[in-house]
Structure 1
Amino acid sequence: MRRRGAPDLALTQLLVETIVLVSFVLALRALPKRLWGGVVRIKWGRALMAIALAVMVIYIAIAMMGARQEASISLAWPELAYNQGYGKNIVNVALVDMRVWDTFGEITVLAAAATGVASLIFAGRGFGSRVRAHEVAPGSIDSGSEAMGGKDSKEVELRIARRFASSGNQDWLMAGSTLVAERRSIIFEVVTRLMFHSVLILSVYTLLTGHNTPGGGFAGGLIAGLALTIRYLAGGRIELSESMRIAPGMLIGGGIALAGLSGIVPLLMGDEIFTTYAMEFWFFGDHKFVTSTIFDIGVYLVVLGLVQDVLRSLGSEIDSLSEGRGPVDRHDFVEASRTGVGR
């Protein structure tokens, strides 16, 4: 039997590990400098119980793998994927067709996880509205709470903010206008300008071609999330706010709704739920559209919304709290516009 590699697994593992690494680094900023005040004592009873449980699980897994008597059903997947799922990528067809219920349950779990993370970070506070770049004084982000110390300095900042708001400056990357000088990286900003749109196009390409080549909605959503991560790291929390045109909750909810709708439509046509159809057409060449791609688009939106929610919760919200004056920027700017300070 011919052995094949697993490019889908390698691609997904690389993308997931990258996103998880960024999430861990962002979350570590919220931890105190010292996690323990005294000497850590090892509880040997619990340690031995954990080791025993791990050994038992390993033994059960090895025994189950050696107890197989019949041929694996996965041997028939290549033929099923091509003849019934209308795709050449066995992994993607299995996720959006042959085992679509598992995938639908998994994206629901992802939505619940994103909601849980956001609820923990924003506990006791509202999510608030987006702070736009023209509402923040230039060079004031991440400058520390001491920048708001005196009354005179605050009036100067509000005056600068008002002039900046009326200047009509709508640069694509706002890092040079909002971040303090020591936080800027010119090389990173240039690389972000070159890579951001290309990475987004690559994510859409990975989504649409995943039925026949390595990729799919999950990998495409992770790639798009990495593009937003690069933009956030280059421009800070205000740049992340500018890039999030649609709220993460709407993306996650819309993705689940679209995935569910792709399964309900076949019922209206008299077929089973999540039945897949293939439509062939000509557009500068012969093409084939498979309806399971709609479900894959829903997965793409859910994953993208999850990454946005993690960046907003563990990234921009912690940035705002560390500055010690996160909610003040918007209120002060609106107040200045109303009273005419700086005219």
Structure 2
Amino acid sequence: AVVVVAALVAARARRRLTAMILVGVTGYGTALLFILHGAPDLALTQFLVETVTIVMFVLVLRRLPRRFSARPIRATRRFRVALGVAVGLVTAGMAYVAAGSRTATPISADFPDEAVSYGGGKNVVNVTLVDIRAWDTMGEIAVLVVAATGVASLIFRGTRALDLRSGIPGAGRQQSSRPRWLTTGATSRQQSVILQVVTRLLFHAILLFAIYLLFSGHNAPGGGFAAGLVAGLGLAVRYLAGGRTELNGAAPVDAGFVLGAGLFVAVGTGVAAMLLGGEFLQSATLDFHLPLLGHVHFVTSVFFDVGVFLIVVGLVLDILRSLGAEMDRQEEDDEQENEPAGVREEELV
């Protein structure tokens, strides 16, 4: 009921921000449906994806008018409503008929046993992504890399923008050599020092939680994709607290390098399996004893998950720098162009 009401109200919303929040409510409601149907892994991923999507929407909406353009005439609106309802009913009917007409036993019925015996993990969703259907995941992360590269190439222009993408703190400006811990020294009147301090204190805990999800995902809810989204949200919070300078201070690395490293690790995991006599992306289970830690159950597919983690982090970092930091730079340039010449001369003095 919440999803349906939010979707209907979003379609009639006049403000862009209101519509975006209502669309987010439909996503969170879908995540709650996953929880009610016993799919915590999908629910965790849906919550994280919806949150990251809302952040990206906010970054873009600040450069757009607050309200949508003028509504079409009443007859056109009625036709669009009727068309939307018809498409929704047909799609729902097709899904219902397709699910109810299954006669053969689905192949996924054997996944729980094979996930433990062949994949070495109890989380069927994660084992499916990094082992049983690893080729599908390989194609998906390759698409993510291409999408991130396309976004950056469409938005970034000029040497200064490329310096910004590479994570060079304060590109084009001189930086103080004195190290700072709680703030980067770039606080403006629109930014809160308290928020920056709290964000810095929580940032490392967020990264530790992301690493926990990365390595526990083979037997519990989590995995490389969810861990990458958590780490990406940590970077997003740093950016929202202190702008592009705070973001570059948290991740002084080229987003393209992180994306390439992730794809290299993922492909390298498959190639290493072939060199050791197995098939591409075939995983192996290792059980050994370590001092202090005791018995360790290790599956080589975790390296593939690390590649997925790096690609998701690189994607979020690239989008933050593209849709966020680059827009900040453009706004600053616009403000400088609109300032009177006497004010700029006084600032230079």
Same fold (TM over 0.5): yes
Structure 1 Cα separation of the partners of residues 52 and 71 of structure 2: 33
Offset at residue 33 of structure 1 (A): 5.0
- 1:92 corresponding residue in structure 2: 126
Extract unaligned runs of 5+ from structure 2: 1-35, 338-347
- 1:178 corresponding residue in structure 2: 186
Structure 2 Cα separation of the partners of residues 300 and 308 of structure 1: 12
- 1:259 corresponding residue in structure 2: 266
For the structure 1 residues 61 and 39, does the alpha-carbon distance in structure 2 shift closer, same or farther, using more than 3 Å as the test?
Answer: closer
SS in 1 for 2:44: helix
- 1:303 corresponding residue in structure 2: 312
- Is the Cα contact below 8 Å between 1:280 and 1:286 reproduced in 2? yes
- 1:196 corresponding residue in structure 2: 203
Structure 1 Cα separation of the partners of residues 335 and 257 of structure 2: 24
2:213 to 188, 206, 214: 206
Rg larger for: 1
Structure 2 Cα separation of the partners of residues 77 and 326 of structure 1: 58
Output the amino acid matched with 2:57. Answer: F
Output the amino acid matched with 2:131. Answer: D
Offset at residue 20 of structure 1 (A): 0.6
1:121 to 155, 178, 197: 155
Q: Answer yes or no: is 1:215 the counterpart of 2:222.
A: yes
For the structure 1 residues 26 and 120, does the alpha-carbon distance in structure 2 shift closer, same or farther, using more than 3 Å as the test?
Answer: same
Alignment of 1:63-82 (within 5 A): 63-82=97-116
- 1:57 corresponding residue in structure 2: 91
Offset at residue 5 of structure 1 (A): 2.2
For the structure 1 residues 39 and 45, does the alpha-carbon distance in structure 2 shift closer, same or farther, using more than 3 Å as the test?
Answer: closer
Tell me the C-alpha RMSD between the 2 structures.
2.7
Q: Answer yes or no: is 1:27 the counterpart of 2:27.
A: no
Output the amino acid matched with 1:67. Answer: S
Structure 1 Cα separation of the partners of residues 306 and 67 of structure 2: 44
- Is the Cα contact below 8 Å between 1:173 and 1:239 reproduced in 2? no
- 2:327 corresponding residue in structure 1: 318
Q: Greater CA deviation, 8-17 or 300-309?
A: 8-17
Structure 2 Cα separation of the partners of residues 68 and 266 of structure 1: 36
Q: Answer yes or no: is 1:280 the counterpart of 2:287.
A: yes
Structure 2 Cα separation of the partners of residues 58 and 11 of structure 1: 25
Q: Deviations over 1:222-243 (max 9, x none)?
A: 1111111111112111111222
Structure 2 Cα separation of the partners of residues 4 and 53 of structure 1: 26
- Is the Cα contact below 8 Å between 2:286 and 2:299 reproduced in 1? yes
- Is the Cα contact below 8 Å between 2:183 and 2:193 reproduced in 1? no
Extract unaligned runs of 5+ from structure 1: 137-160, 329-340
Q: Deviations over 1:113-153 (max 9, x none)?
A: 212222232257774214525975xxxxxxxxxxxxxxxxx
For the structure 1 residues 5 and 46, does the alpha-carbon distance in structure 2 shift closer, same or farther, using more than 3 Å as the test?
Answer: closer
Taking CA–CA contacts closer than 8 Å with sequence separation of 6 or more, which of the two structures ends up with the larger relative contact order? 1
Offset at residue 13 of structure 1 (A): 1.1
SS in 2 for 1:129: helix
Output the amino acid matched with 1:199. Answer: I
Q: Answer yes or no: is 1:239 the counterpart of 2:276.
A: no
Output the amino acid matched with 2:98. Answer: M
- Is the Cα contact below 8 Å between 1:133 and 1:174 reproduced in 2? no
For the structure 1 residues 34 and 63, does the alpha-carbon distance in structure 2 shift closer, same or farther, using more than 3 Å as the test?
Answer: closer
- What is the TM-score of this pair, normalised by structure 1? 0.79
Structure 2 Cα separation of the partners of residues 301 and 114 of structure 1: 13
- Is the Cα contact below 8 Å between 1:107 and 1:299 reproduced in 2? yes
SS in 1 for 2:288: strand
For the structure 1 residues 134 and 104, does the alpha-carbon distance in structure 2 shift closer, same or farther, using more than 3 Å as the test?
Answer: closer
- 2:169 corresponding residue in structure 1: 132
Offset at residue 292 of structure 1 (A): 0.4
- 2:143 corresponding residue in structure 1: 109
Output the amino acid matched with 1:102. Answer: D
